[in-house]
Chains A and B, each alone.
Chain A
Amino acid sequence: MREVKLLRKTRTTARYATRSNVTRRKTVLKKRRWKSGHKKGTKAYRFVIPSRQLMSQAKDGVENGAENGMSDAPAQRDGSQRTLLSVIIPAMNEEKTIGAVVREARRICRDAEVLVIVNGSTDGTANAAKRAGARVLTYAEALGHDGGRKVGAEAACGQVLLFTDADIAIPAEHLAPYVKAVLKGTDVALNDYHGPVTDHPVHPVVEAKHMLNSILGRSDLRGASMTAIPHAISRKGLEVMGISSLEVPPLAQAKAVIGGLRVRAVHHVPVGRMNAVRIKKRSGPDPLSQVVLNDHMAAIKWITDTLGPRGGYTDLKRVRNLAR
């Protein structure tokens, strides 16, 4: 009796301390809307079996990929001819969410290969992923998000490679558009997410992403970047970029645009809002942002090394000899 009273009391004060009823209700509604796509226990593929034409295209692609020596065992290579989609999920200590993430990934289309790259984990992430039906690659040391993606891309045998993260379960409805876009001919399908552009002062990472796209002559992409998930790439795209460059996403993006691939921001998933909780938990500046900034510098270095110090931009009637 006393306990109940106490509970009630804390509840009343808590209500005053936190948000009002209306705002709380709003967030609940938003979540519900976000998740409304599927019912528990039913399996509705967004992406039913693709047409024959697409499958044959896919086969060609695989042969090319096999020549490059990408997949490991011949038995798997045989299986890969039928695999359309590989979903690559790097995970480190994410046992709470990985199950849901894998289940959502498996809902995208039939016979999708879901690869979970468990790295540096000390909890039950690998088991949880296996239980949910994923192929698991385990590494004792931490690889980082991008390192995990690179390792996953090496092992993947699908026609379309979809990259997502283990910490947010994005519904299959919101993952399918990327796969669809790649099947329709896009080589790199990016998340149409530009980061918090309205913040003042703006976050350096957001600035760097915008800057890279405008250097590449693709200011229409705005802040869309391969640093953000989800994104999907085709086999052809993977060949042009090179698997190793996946470890430095801005570099891969630069290689894709300059290599003449079709890069498009396809679908918007508000990953910033979904990530927000994690950011609040931490104290001090995010060490990841410095890594991302260095990645952008690496991309610029590659651009200036391959296209000359001006990155292919003209001098516009400037007569430099005069100044010497």
Chain B
Amino acid sequence: MSHRMMQHAGGEEMKGRSGIARRRRTTNRRTTVGRTVINKRHGNKKHVAIQKTRRSRSTSDQVDLHLMWKAGQVAGNEAKANNTASDKHARLVWNAHASNVTELSNFDLALKAGKAFMQGYAHASGHSLQIVPVPLRHSAAAVVCACNEEHTLGQVLVQLKRLPLTDIIVVLNGTTDDSLKQVLKQPGLTVVYEPDRAGHDVGRALGAKMTDAESVLFVDGDMVVSAEELAPFLYAVDRGQDVALNNLTSLLPAFAGQDEVSRIKAYLNRTLGRADLGSNSMTAVPHALSRRMIQTVKPASLAVPPKAQSLAIQHGMSVSAPSQVDVIRSNRLRPGNTGSGNDVARLIIGDHLEALATLLGTGWNSAQAHTLSRAEVAYRRNAR
């Protein structure tokens, strides 16, 4: 700590000096003091982190969590008296309460407030709750696409049931194991069974046709993602986004280390004028779509995810990547999807080509009309 103080003092002292003197001092400091400062920083990492969280808590604390807890307690007491305490009831009460609170402007706040409410409810009613309290205004459904994933499918469904969904659609295609039996055992599911393999993307398109909920969340049966991690996608679509993608930007290496699939995804986004989306794509799960988007691009086009994405952007829908789920590390490695130039990579490259072809076919050039011709560029660059 003392060291940091010293450095600070030095900085202030130097501000008054001339350029040359400052430069000399910098070299001195680099050789002796600088090194120790760097070491110190490492030691202090924990401390800095704590400070950060404390600050963020103080700024985002616009909602009085205690009030939320109290409201939950009141609701819980009522439920206990009427003997109606259940997950469903808690969710209903919370939705009614959340629509009255105007401060719940972003997802983090809403979730925090919801958790406080649920704690109050559980405390009063004595009914332990497993649900994730996302306040959704419209109906929501989930589509799970699975093929021989009996080990993980059960867990995936457990996580989905913690979310306020009106419908869960399980699309089983080409299963040879006990997946179907397992799914049929569980209540409250819509099951689409296709004996032959149809592909994940086709499964998603099928599932999207089976529901008319306002927002649809797409997940895979081979990867267990907790309900807390899935909720932001639903929330984003519920609050007006049309496509909520998985934000993988920070998980990818720099360009030099990227695989060709990530590069072509980024290229497509850039061509569509959405370079800010990076390599985020509808080929990755989880993602959520709005009913408006599904109807505009037609469910059939969801079979080729990049095409659906480019159509959505072309139609001026709002596309964003609100949250991150690490699907890269936890993805099941199969012989088909490892290494560069594998079958899956070729499929995805083909998908992107298809998307680019449709883009070119539907008057992309008119959007780029403002660009200069070769001769004009030559005059700009080389004219005297």
Which A residues contact B (CB, under 8 angstroms)?
16, 92-94, 119-120, 122-123, 141-147, 197-202, 204, 206-208, 210-211, 214-215, 217, 219, 247, 282, 287-288, 290-291, 293-294, 297, 300-301, 303-304, 309-320, 322-324
Contact = CB atoms under 8 A, between A and B. Distances in A.
Contact of A146 (B271, B371, B374): B374
Interface in B328-378: 340-341, 343-344, 346-347, 349-351, 353-354, 356-358, 360, 364, 368, 371-378
A197 B303 CA distance: 33
B378 A145 contact: yes
Interface in B7-31: 19-20, 23
Given A16-B23, A314-B346, A142 B379 contact: yes
A208 B267 contact: yes
Interface string B243-272: 000000000001110001001101100110
B20 to A, nearest CB: 5
Contacts of A311: 349-350, 353, 357
B231 interface: no
A204 B199 contact: no
A316 B343 contact: yes
Q: Which 5 A-B pairs have the closest CB atoms?
A: A313-B350, A144-B374, A323-B205, A318-B199, A214-B260
A288 B377 contact: yes
B198 A322 contact: yes
B254 A294 contact: no
A305 B312 CA distance: 23
A120 B360 contact: no
B58 interface: no
A206 B270 CA distance: 12
A310 B378 contact: no
B384 A297 contact: no
Contact of B256 (A146, A197, A313): A197
Contacts of A146: 374
B201 interface: yes
A304 B353 contact: yes
A202 B249 CA distance: 13
Given A204-B275, A303-B353, A322-B202, A316 B384 contact: no
Interface in B255-301: 255-256, 260, 263-264, 266-267, 270-271, 275, 299-300
B255 A16 contact: no
Contact of B263 (A199, A200, A207): A207
Given A287-B372, A300-B353, A311-B353, 20 more contacts: A92-B378, A120-B379, A144-B373, A145-B374, A202-B254, A207-B266, A208-B267, A287-B371, A287-B377, A287-B381, A291-B373, A304-B357, A313-B346, A314-B347, A315-B347, A318-B303, A319-B202, A322-B194, A322-B202, A323-B303
A143 B299 contact: no
B336 to A, nearest CB: 8
Contacts of B356: 297, 300, 304
Given A16-B19, A297-B360, A304-B360, A316 B383 contact: no
Contacts of B108: none
Given A142-B375, A287-B377, A309-B358, A317 B199 contact: yes
B378 A144 contact: yes
15 contacts: A120-B379, A122-B384, A200-B254, A206-B255, A282-B381, A288-B377, A290-B371, A290-B372, A304-B356, A309-B353, A315-B350, A317-B198, A318-B198, A319-B202, A320-B202
A199 B255 CA distance: 8
